[in-house]
Structures are given as structure tokens and as C-alpha cells.
């Protein structure tokens, strides 16, 4: 049995180690390890509850906006104002979150994933007159190719022309993701770490000039998504179509739902949302979401078991990660864009069904093939379009000059829950307030689900399951491993959390 250790796994957020054992070219065992512990929830204890609104964003600088949404919903609920947020506030929050998802998904496909499929060094052979490609060729000719080499060599399947085209899109996508963050900052103040989302709504009142500026930035992004991003995903899927069969995973998906379409229902599991709440299996069985089914287990994580709080215990016998193992009804669940898209797909969302079916028919594939490396990329691209198109409608629902915020007082004692979908999947924040201060703050984060180690029963986490059984063509260039891992868009700063629920 050969061991392949990839540490660090790069082009993700945070510090991840992946170890696989290979026998006769097939992965027999896999371990996913988070390699940094910060303990943000400990840091939150004793603070003013509103400070969680800003501090939890610092869990992750790639997806801070999702944390700001989860924190706001959590604090709304603890302050007893979940049903009182003005429509402007609800819609502006959706627009801020949507802008973040567009930025994140473009970043993930082009800057975190594409180099596994695209041979960017082929820009050295470019002979045309395009300014961007010519400058890339000049870069290649100078000979110092960092940060694009070293890299795995071998399985790059696109033609020179296609490699060059996607390389140019890699550069264009850099400015597009930046543009999405600019759009976000129209209502959010700045990015990363927006300032606009607060319990009670959003800090600023929308005005017509801001709305129109948002609309036209969004239109430019929608054009990029339709004209460049979706076609590039399909072009890569065409060349690497075997990846519709690789990296299947745990076969169960979970979504909290996201983008509130109604602000009056206080129970977030029942609120009407653009993405619906629920679980879906690979047989397309769908079930209602019940958050009392969520547990976290630490047998294989570097934490002391059994106390009210989970204290770090580095070097614990048998443990191999700072990430805990969240489970739903004792079973392993994957979260992320695939879960959202499939929940809506089986929930008869005609727009999502139409987008997904058109892609499936192009590849003569079935819905179960979406449980795969390519399925995750496709789902991410499909939902980017779906979100961006929906945002356009929401912008026109804003009432310029009207309030986006409702005031409140901080209760002496209370509890709250905030459920939302981060770019990478289901994100939950929980709070307990005592003496107007944070007594306990808990985050269960998408990559904690996806990158989790084994649970107390020994069931491997979703990424581990996706790796086990995979055939590795070249053990010194294990493309299959990194393509599988990156298809989950790991975010390890988020994933590492420590306080017991």
C-alpha cells in the first residue's frame, strides 16, 4: 500500500492536509485533516452580542458575507425581531449575499480549480495579437513561472487554443470577481468583511443612484456568466467527461435554503426561500429539514470529549484533524451548491430544472451523475446564473429612500439560531445570551460537514468517501485527488470550530 500525502492542499481557503492510501492504483483509505486551530467561538464569549456580527466574518475572508448573514439572522432571532426586518433590509441582505456568491463561484472555478484542467503554460505558444495573451506570453518567455509552476504534470487535455482561451478567461475572471465585490460594497460598505449587514437589517438606506449602479454592474457579471463562465464549465466537462463518474461521495445532500423571499415567518426552516430547505439522496428522495437531527462528534478530532465545552487536545490518540464531524441523523451529508441545486431540482423549481436538464441532455447524463466532481462544478455555475438573474428582479423591488433597518434592545437572556447557505454550503450560527453578553456562540460551517474526519461510528466524511475507491493513474501526479477535493471548494478557516452544541 502506497501513501500519498498532499500537505498543503493549495488553491483552497486555509490549511488542509489530505492523505490517501493506494493499492493497485486504487484509493483504499483517505484522511482529511484541518491543520489550523484559532478558536473564534472562545474569542466571542463574554462580548457584546452585536460584535459577533463583525467578528464571525473574520472566521473566513473568502466567505465573510455568508457569516455576516448567518450572524444577522441569528441575532435577529435572539433579539426577537426575525419577523420585523423591513423588506428593504431583507432584499439588500439578499443582494449582498448574492454578490458574494457570484464572486466566490467565479474565484472557485477559475482561480482555485481551473489550473487542474488547463495547461496555462501553453500561453508561451500564443502567436496572435490579443493584448492579455501577449502579456502572458511575455511572462512565460521571461522564464520565472511562479506561482503557476511547480504543478502536477501530465493529464491536461485541452488543445493549445482552448488552453490559451481559458487562460485569458482566468485573467478576465480576476477582474470579474473583483467587480462582484465592488457591487457588494455598494450596500455593504467594503469587501472583504462587509460593514452593512447588521441585526435589524442593513445600515444604509437604498437610493436610486446606488440601485442603478448595482443593476449595471450586475448586468456585466450576468453577461460574463452566460458568455464565458457557463460555456467554460461545459467545455471542461466535455474534455474531462469521465469526472461525471469520479468523486461520487456520500450520496446524501443537505441544504438550509437561502435568500429569504418572505420576512414574516420566524422559523427559518419554514421560511420561503429561493433555495429550498431539505435533504436529497442520490435516488432523489427528498426530505424536510429538521435541525434537531444535527450532532457533532469528536472521536477523531483533536478535542477533549465529553465536557460541556470541547477543549482543544492536540495529539489525542487516534485523532487526525482540527475539524469535527457534524452528522445529520447520525449519517454523513454533503453540503454546497450541488445540495442547493438538487433540492430545488427535486422540489420542482422549473427554472433550475430547465437549466440542469439542458446540461444533462448535452452529456447524455442522469441526475445521479451530478453526484461527482463535474456535477459540483456544473451545479455551482448553474446556481451562479440563477442567483444573478434573481438579483436583477430583487433590485427592482427595493423602495428608494425607505428604511432598511429596525431598532431593538439587547435582551438580558435569550437564544438564537441563524441558518443560511454560504457559497460552500449550509451554514448555521447559534447564540446563547446571558447578562446581555455572549455566553456561548456556535458555528457549524459547510466545510466542517464536507471535510470532516471519521465520526464516532467510524464513518468517513464526505470528501474522504469521495476519494475512497478512486483510481489513480499516476501516483506522483495525483490529479484525481486534488480535483475531487477542490470540487468541494474547501474552506478550512471556516471548518475548524470547537464549542459543543
Partner 1 sequence: MGKVEEYPIIWLQCATCTGCSVSILNSESPTIKNILVDEILPGKHLNLRFHPTIMAGAGQAVIEEMEETKQRKSGSYILMIEGAIPTIEDGAYGCIGEKDEKPITMLSAVESLGKEALAVIALGTCAAFGGIAAAHRNPGKCVGVDKLFKSLSIITPLINIPGCPPHPDWLVGTVASFLLNGLPKEEDLDEYKRPKAFYGRLIHENCPRRADYDEGKFAKKFNEPGCLYELGCKGPVTYADCPLRLWNGGVNWCINAGSPCIGCCEFGFPDVVSPLYQKMDVEALPIVGRRIEIE
Active-site positions? 13, 60, 63, 67, 424, 447, 491, 494
Task: Give the binding range for partner 1 (CB under 8 A) out of 154-162, 262-270, 352-360, 400-408.
Answer: 400-408
Environment class of residue 424 by beta-carbon count within 10 Å: exposed (0-12), middle (13-18) or buried (19+)? Answer: buried
- For 478, residues 6+ apart whose C-beta sits below 8 A from its C-beta are 4, 6, 20, 152, 472
Output the furthest CA–CA distance in the chain (Å, rounded).
69
Among 83, 84, 124, 174, binds partner 1 (CB under 8 A): 174
**Site mask, partner 1, residues 433-452, x = CB under 8 A?**
--------------------
Q: Is the Cβ of residue 173 or residue 225 nearer to partner 1 in the bound state?
A: 173
Q: What is the rounded CA–CA span in Å between residue 395 and residue 173?
A: 24
Per CB under 8 A, contacts with partner 1 among 17-56 are 17, 35-40, 42-43, 45-48, 50-51, 54-55
Residue 262: closest CA among 412, 433, 91: 91
Q: Does 189 bind partner 1 (CB under 8 A)?
A: yes
Per CB under 8 A, contacts with partner 1 among 296-315 are 312, 314-315
Q: What is the rounded CA–CA span in Å between residue 120 and residue 152?
A: 12
For the CB of residue 150, give the shortest distance to partner 1 in the complex, in Å: 4
* Cβ atoms within 10 Å, residue 407: 10
Per CB under 8 A, contacts with partner 1 among 199-218 are 200-205
Q: Is the Cβ of residue 254 or residue 427 nearer to partner 1 in the bound state?
A: 427
For the CB of residue 100, give the shortest distance to partner 1 in the complex, in Å: 11
- For 395, which DSSP code? H
Among 29, 80, 81, 178, binds partner 1 (CB under 8 A): 178
Task: Give the binding range for partner 1 (CB under 8 A) out of 23-31, 181-189, 376-384, 422-430.
Answer: 181-189
Q: Is the Cβ of residue 70 or residue 115 nearer to partner 1 in the bound state?
A: 115
Environment class of residue 351 by beta-carbon count within 10 Å: exposed (0-12), middle (13-18) or buried (19+)? Answer: middle
For the CB of residue 59, give the shortest distance to partner 1 in the complex, in Å: 6
- For 426, residues 6+ apart whose C-beta sits below 8 A from its C-beta are 254, 255, 256, 335, 339, 419, 444, 446, 449
Among 229, 244, 405, 488, binds partner 1 (CB under 8 A): 405
CB 405 within 8 A of CB 19: no
For the CB of residue 65, give the shortest distance to partner 1 in the complex, in Å: 11
**Can you say whether the dihedral through the CA atoms of 83, 86, 91, 93 is positive or negative?**
negative
- For 299, residues 6+ apart whose C-beta sits below 8 A from its C-beta are 305, 318, 319, 325, 454, 455, 456
Q: Does 411 bind partner 1 (CB under 8 A)?
A: no
Task: Give the binding range for partner 1 (CB under 8 A) out of 185-193, 246-254, 418-426, 467-475.
Answer: 185-193
Task: Give the binding range for partner 1 (CB under 8 A) out of 198-206, 228-236, 246-254, 335-343.
Answer: 198-206
Q: Does 186 bind partner 1 (CB under 8 A)?
A: yes
Q: Does 404 bind partner 1 (CB under 8 A)?
A: yes
Among 2, 23, 130, 135, binds partner 1 (CB under 8 A): 135
- For 350, residues 6+ apart whose C-beta sits below 8 A from its C-beta are none
Per CB under 8 A, contacts with partner 1 among 322-381 are 322
Number of residues that bind partner 1 (CB under 8 A): 89
Among 2, 10, 219, 358, binds partner 1 (CB under 8 A): 10
Task: Give the binding range for partner 1 (CB under 8 A) out of 133-141, 242-250, 283-291, 423-431.
Answer: 133-141
Among 482, 484, 488, 500, binds partner 1 (CB under 8 A): 482
Span between the terminal Cα atoms of the chain, in Å: 39
CB 221 within 8 A of CB 234: no
Q: Is the Cβ of residue 349 or residue 464 nearer to partner 1 in the bound state?
A: 464
For the CB of residue 384, give the shortest distance to partner 1 in the complex, in Å: 18
**Can you say whether the dihedral through the CA atoms of 451, 454, 456, 457 is positive or negative?**
positive
Q: What backbone phi and psi angles, to 5 degrees, belong to 430?
A: -130, 140
For the CB of residue 282, give the shortest distance to partner 1 in the complex, in Å: 29
Alpha helices per DSSP H over 264-419? 337-346, 350-362, 373-397
Q: Does 424 bind partner 1 (CB under 8 A)?
A: no
Q: What is the rounded CA–CA span in Å between residue 460 and residue 397?
A: 45
Amino acid at each position: 500500500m502506497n501513501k500519498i500525502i498532499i500537505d498543503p492542499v493549495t488553491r483552497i481557503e486555509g490549511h488542509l492536509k489530505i492523505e490517501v492510501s493506494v493499492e493497485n492504483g486504487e484509493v483504499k483509505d483517505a484522511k482529511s485533516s484541518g491543520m489550523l486551530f484559532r478558536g473564534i467561538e472562545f474569542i466571542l464569549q463574554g462580548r457584546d452580542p452585536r460584535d459577533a456580527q463583525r467578528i464571525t466574518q473574520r472566521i473566513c475572508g473568502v466567505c465573510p458575507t455568508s457569516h455576516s448573514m448567518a450572524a444577522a439572522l441569528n441575532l435577529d432571532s435572539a433579539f426577537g425581531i426575525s419577523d420585523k426586518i423591513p423588506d428593504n433590509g431583507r432584499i439588500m441582505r439578499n443582494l449582498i449575499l448574492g454578490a458574494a456568491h457570484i464572486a466566490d463561484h467565479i474565484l472557485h472555478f477559475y482561480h482555485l480549480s481551473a489550473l487542474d484542467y488547463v495547461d496555462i503554460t501553453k500561453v508561451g505558444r500564443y502567436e496572435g495579437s490579443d493584448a492579455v495573451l501577449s502579456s502572458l506570453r511575455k511572462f512565460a518567455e521571461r522564464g520565472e513561472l511562479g506561482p503557476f509552476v511547480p504543478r502536477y504534470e501530465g493529464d491536461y487535455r485541452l488543445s493549445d487554443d482552448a488552453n490559451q482561451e481559458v487562460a485569458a478567461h482566468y485573467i478576465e475572471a480576476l477582474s470579474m470577481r473583483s467587480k462582484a465585490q465592488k457591487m457588494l460594497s455598494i450596500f455593504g460598505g467594503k469587501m472583504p468583511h462587509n460593514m452593512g449587514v447588521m441585526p435589524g437589517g442593513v445600515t444604509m438606506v437604498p437610493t436610486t443612484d446606488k440601485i442603478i449602479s448595482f443593476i449595471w454592474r450586475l448586468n456585466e457579471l450576468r453577461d460574463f456568466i452566460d458568455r464565458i463562465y457557463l460555456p467554460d464549465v461545459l467545455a471542461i466537462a466535455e474534455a474531462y467527461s469521465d469526472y461525471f463518474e469520479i468523486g461520487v461521495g456520500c450520496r446524501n445532500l443537505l441544504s438550509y435554503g437561502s435568500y429569504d423571499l418572505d420576512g414574516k415567518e420566524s422559523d427559518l426552516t419554514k421560511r420561503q426561500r429561493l433555495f429550498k430547505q431539505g435533504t436529497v439522496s442520490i435516488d432523489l428522495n427528498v426530505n424536510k429539514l429538521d435541525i434537531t437531527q444535527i450532532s457533532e462528534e469528536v472521536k477523531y478530532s483533536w478535542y477533549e470529549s465529553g465536557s460541556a465545552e470541547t477543549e482543544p487536545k492536540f495529539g489525542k490518540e487516534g485523532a487526525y484533524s482540527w475539524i469535527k464531524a457534524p452528522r445529520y441523523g447520525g449519517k454523513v451529508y454533503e453540503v454546497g451548491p450541488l445540495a442547493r441545486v438538487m433540492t430545488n431540482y427535486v422540489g420542482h423549481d422549473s427554472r433550475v430544472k430547465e437549466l440542469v436538464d439542458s446540461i444533462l441532455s448535452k452529456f447524455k447524463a442522469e441526475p445521479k451523475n451530478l453526484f461527482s466532481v463535474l456535477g459540483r462544478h456544473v451545479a455551482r455555475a448553474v446556481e451562479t446564473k440563477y442567483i444573478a438573474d434573481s438579483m436583477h428582479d430583487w433590485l427592482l423591488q427595493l423602495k428608494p429612500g425607505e428604511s432598511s433597518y429596525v431598532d431593538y434592545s439587547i435582551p438580558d437572556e435569550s437564544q438564537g439560531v441563524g441558518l443560511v447557505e454560504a457559497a460552500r454550503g449550509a451554514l448555521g450560527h447559534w447564540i446563547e445570551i446571558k447578562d446581555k453578553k455572549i455566553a456561548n456562540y456556535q458555528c457549524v460551517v459547510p466545510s466542517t460537514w464536507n471535510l470532516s474526519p471519521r465520526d464516532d461510528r467510524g464513518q468517513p466524511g464526505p470528501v474522504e468517501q469521495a476519494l475512497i475507491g478512486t483510481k489513480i493513474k499516476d501516483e506522483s501526479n495525483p490529479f484525481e485527488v486534488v480535483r475531487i477535493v477542490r470540487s468541494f471548494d474547501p474552506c478550512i478557516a471556516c471548518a475548524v470550530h470547537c464549542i459543543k452544541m
